[in-house]
């Protein structure tokens, strides 16, 4: 006991002087309002790990939901850890301190379960960074019972193969119910990893890489994605942690529905999160009220992939302004699709700027990607926004989409010119700001474009320069573009196979970490790692044969391969598919759980 207290004192002393010498020490102190009760009795410790900095991790709704669910269980104490920024990482190493959780400052190594939430491919090296700082071996096969069970979850599990060998189990799909089941199994079988893995494998949504037979790089088992069948019954925190420092999305958030009706063909989130499940309007209002009262925040976000498509949007829009006024709060509404845009949504945010994503510059290309919005929709939205005193416009586009030509790039420029003209016509003023953000298309698993090649680095540079030359001549427009090399590595990792675990490890050992941070990313680490391994990264971004077995084909996402293939063929023929809000397109997702409109449909007896 004395030894423990003494060690803790030394640790605290060291930590104090470290915190005085790192950027933004508030990231590492914990103690926020709303954290779990660390004095409670428990028999299982769970740490949610987010492989990026606190400000980004704490903006993620998923980990807040899981934190709440796990801590509401009488047996579990659930804590958090985020990737320490490079200065803190170096200090921890220098002072021989293992990476620790925020709540009790326990070393990650001492937890029963360490669950990583993996949101984007460029965070893969940070997983290894966090493991190394915790003295935890990278590969599952190198870890015995004395180490925590390593679990992965989050949208990157759409293709878990590149990081599969690092993890003991991978949770594919919604984590609300599965995480508790895994925790139960670990609690009941502590010290017996073999039994834990075997039992976990029986849970729907759980993939145990070490127990799967792999032939020619492809897993031979079938794993079904887990889904929460009824979102209204699923636990959603009525109280959330209120961070002590400013975070990226600094507000509590209520999720309206999961999945998306639109079916844009490049969009992984749309298909990965299907079937579409609604949270009822009454539940949403109750949650908003509870969250505002329990957090003290001055604003709230309502979130979902395409808010305007929410089944009860008109009811919500009728009541929300009143509630916002009563509680003296702002309501933030992200992710507007232009066709669902409504002036009342805009008014609610009390903001003088609007963000939207036409994604492509011409109607032809928007048809290819199934972004079902027209030039007329864009004009109506802009006019609406201008009449609501908006003078700042942020537009997102992509380059490198299948079948794209220079004419489509010209279309992006034309949209901006049109907004400029409309603004002058309607206001007589020129004080408009237009920000254009152009990303490079990355073909992602579980989308109709999962077979498509990514354009080469030279072509990316050509297209970025093409736009730069055009935009430089237009007033009031600032043009930003994503780094092409980062998009290339993202595409490699997104559609990679098990061989890439070694690539990630090698790149990390050469210096790659915080790859999603522009100033930290260096493609040299990745190229050198590939060279050492003798693999050609271009193969991973090349076009795939429609009949090829893809590394993620062993997972049943609900949405069928046949549907995705059909959508791809329609894309090449410039044919669109209408969103499924009113008519089901039979994508297959409803075999996992009924889509909300199916339920509604049955209730209406119209089926």
Interface with ligand SF4 (CB under 6 A)? 260, 262-264, 267, 269-270, 274-276, 305-306, 337, 580, 584-587, 589-590, 595, 597
Q: Which does 7 bind (CB under 5 to 8 A by kind): other proteins, ligand SF4, none?
A: none
* Signed CA dihedral, 501, 502, 503, 508: sign only: positive
Q: Which is nearer to other proteins, 94 or 536 (CB)?
A: 94
Whether 512 contacts 125, CB under 8 Å:
yes
Q: Which is nearer to ligand SF4, 115 or 448 (CB)?
A: 448
DSSP symbol at 168: S
For residue 280, the tally of other CB atoms under 10 A from its CB is 16
The region, left, alpha or beta by phi > 0 then psi within -120 to 50, assigned to residue 568 is: alpha
Shortest separation between residue 356's beta carbon and ligand SF4, angstroms: 10
Q: Which does 522 bind (CB under 5 to 8 A by kind): ligand SF4, other proteins, none?
A: none
Asked if 242 is part of the footprint of other proteins (rule: CB under 8 A), the reply reads yes
Shortest separation between residue 9's beta carbon and ligand SF4, angstroms: 50
Element containing residue 281 per DSSP (H, E):
helix 281-295
Q: Which of 219, 124, 231 is nearest to 176 (CA)?
A: 231
Residues 5-64 that bind other proteins (CB under 8 A): 13, 16-17, 19-20, 25-26, 29-33, 35
Shortest separation between residue 263's beta carbon and other proteins, angstroms: 40
Q: Which does 33 bind (CB under 5 to 8 A by kind): other proteins, ligand SF4, none?
A: other proteins
Shortest separation between residue 59's beta carbon and other proteins, angstroms: 15
Q: Which is nearer to other proteins, 74 or 328 (CB)?
A: 328
Q: Give the CA radius of gyration of the chain.
A: 24
Asked if 217 is part of the footprint of other proteins (rule: CB under 8 A), the reply reads no
Asked if 461 is part of the footprint of other proteins (rule: CB under 8 A), the reply reads no
Q: For residues 394 and 266, what is the distance between their CA atoms, to the nearest angstrom?
A: 20
* Site pattern 282..311 for other proteins (x: CB under 8 A): -----------xxxxxx-------------
Q: Which does 13 bind (CB under 5 to 8 A by kind): ligand SF4, other proteins, none?
A: other proteins
CA angle 119, 202, 127 (to 5 degrees): 25
Shortest separation between residue 416's beta carbon and ligand SF4, angstroms: 20
Shortest separation between residue 26's beta carbon and other proteins, angstroms: 5
Asked if 245 is part of the footprint of other proteins (rule: CB under 8 A), the reply reads yes
The alpha carbon of residue 406 and the mean position of all alpha carbons in its chain are separated, in whole angstroms, by 31
Q: Which is nearer to other proteins, 14 or 598 (CB)?
A: 14
Q: Which does 384 bind (CB under 5 to 8 A by kind): other proteins, ligand SF4, none?
A: none
Q: How far is CA 181 from CA 73, 196, 210, 584, in A?
A: 11, 11, 19, 32
Q: For residues 235 and 220, what is the distance between their CA atoms, to the nearest angstrom?
A: 34
DSSP symbol at 379: H
Shortest separation between residue 20's beta carbon and other proteins, angstroms: 5
Q: Dihedral of the CA atoms 362, 365, 367, 370 (nearest 10)?
A: -120
User: 3-state SS of the chain: helix, strand, coil percent to 5?
Assistant: 45, 15, 45
Shortest separation between residue 249's beta carbon and other proteins, angstroms: 15
For residue 473, the tally of other CB atoms under 10 A from its CB is 8
Task: Candidates 55-63, 170-178, 237-245, 261-269: pick the segment binding other proteins (CB under 8 A).
Answer: 237-245
Q: For residues 272 and 225, what is the distance between their CA atoms, to the nearest angstrom?
A: 9
Q: For residues 350 and 249, what is the distance between their CA atoms, to the nearest angstrom?
A: 17
Whether 265 contacts 564, CB under 8 Å:
no
Shortest separation between residue 331's beta carbon and other proteins, angstroms: 16
Contact positions vs other proteins (CB under 8 A): 13, 16-17, 19-20, 25-26, 29-33, 35, 242, 244-246, 293-298, 328
């Amino acid at each position: 006991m004395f030894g423990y207290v003494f060690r803790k004192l030394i640790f605290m002393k060291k930590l104090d002087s470290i915190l005085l010498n790192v950027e933004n020490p508030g990231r590492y102190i914990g103690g926020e309002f709303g954290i779990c009760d660390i004095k409670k009795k428990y028999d299982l410790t769970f740490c949610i790990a987010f492989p990026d900095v606190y400000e980004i991790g704490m903006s993620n709704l998923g980990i807040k939901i899981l934190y709440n669910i796990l801590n509401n269980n009488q047996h579990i104490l659930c804590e958090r850890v985020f990737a320490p920024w490079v200065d803190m990482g170096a200090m921890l190493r220098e002072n021989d301190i293992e990476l620790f959780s925020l709540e009790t400052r326990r070393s990650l190594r001492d937890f029963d379960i360490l669950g990583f939430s993996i949101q984007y491919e460029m965070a893969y090296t940070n997983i290894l960074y966090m493991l190394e700082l915790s003295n935890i071996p990278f590969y599952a096969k190198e870890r015995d019972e004395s180490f925590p069970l390593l679990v992965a979850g989050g949208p990157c599990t759409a293709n878990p193969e590149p990081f599969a060998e690092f993890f003991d189990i991978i949770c594919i799909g919604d984590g609300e119910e599965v995480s508790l089941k895994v925790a139960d199994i670990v609690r009941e079988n502590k010290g017996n990893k073999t039994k834990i893995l075997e039992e976990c494998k029986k849970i729907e949504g759980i993939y145990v890489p070490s127990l799967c037979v792999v032939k020619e790089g492809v897993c031979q088992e079938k794993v079904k994605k887990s889904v929460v069948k009824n979102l209204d019954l699923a636990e959603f925190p009525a109280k959330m942690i209120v961070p002590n420092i400013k975070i990226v999305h600094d507000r509590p958030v209520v999720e309206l529905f999961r999945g998306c009706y639109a079916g844009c063909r490049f969009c992984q989130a749309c298909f990965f999160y299907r079937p579409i499940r609604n949270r009822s309007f009454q539940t949403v209002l109750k949650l908003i009220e509870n969250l505002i009262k329990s957090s003290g925040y001055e604003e709230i976000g309502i979130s979902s992939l395409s808010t305007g498509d929410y089944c009860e949007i008109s009811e919500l829009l009728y009541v929300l302004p009143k509630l916002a006024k009563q509680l003296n709060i702002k309501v933030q509404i992200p992710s507007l699709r232009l066709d669902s845009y409504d002036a009342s949504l805009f008014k609610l945010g009390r903001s003088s700027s609007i963000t939207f994503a036409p994604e492509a510059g011409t109607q032809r290309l928007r048809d290819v990607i199934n972004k079902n919005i027209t030039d007329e929709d864009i004009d109506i939205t802009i006019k609406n926004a201008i009449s609501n005193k908006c003078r700042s416009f942020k537009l997102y586009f992509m380059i490198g989409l299948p079948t794209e030509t220079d004419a489509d790039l010209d279309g992006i420029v034309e949209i901006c010119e049109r907004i400029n003209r409309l603004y002058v016509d309607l206001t007589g003023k020129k004080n408009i700001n237009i920000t254009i953000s152009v990303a490079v298309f990355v073909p992602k698993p579980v989308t109709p474009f999962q077979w498509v090649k990514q354009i080469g680095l030279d072509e990316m540079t050509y297209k970025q320069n093409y736009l730069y030359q055009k935009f430089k001549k237009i007033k009031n427009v600032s043009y930003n573009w994503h780094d092409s090399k980062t998009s290339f590595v993202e595409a490699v990792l997104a559609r990679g196979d098990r061989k890439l675990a070694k690539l990630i490890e090698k790149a990390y050992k050469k210096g790659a970490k915080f790859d999603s941070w522009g100033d930290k990313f260096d493609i040299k680490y990745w190229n050198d790692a590939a060279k050492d391994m003798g693999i050609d990264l271009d193969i991973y971004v090349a076009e795939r044969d429609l009949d090829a077995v893809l590394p993620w084909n062993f997972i049943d996402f609900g949405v069928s391969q046949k549907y995705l293939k059909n959508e791809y063929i329609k894309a090449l023929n410039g044919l669109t598919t209408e969103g499924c809000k009113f008519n089901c397109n039979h994508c297959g997702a409803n075999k996992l759980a009924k889509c909300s409109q199916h339920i509604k449909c049955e209730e209406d007896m119209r089926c």
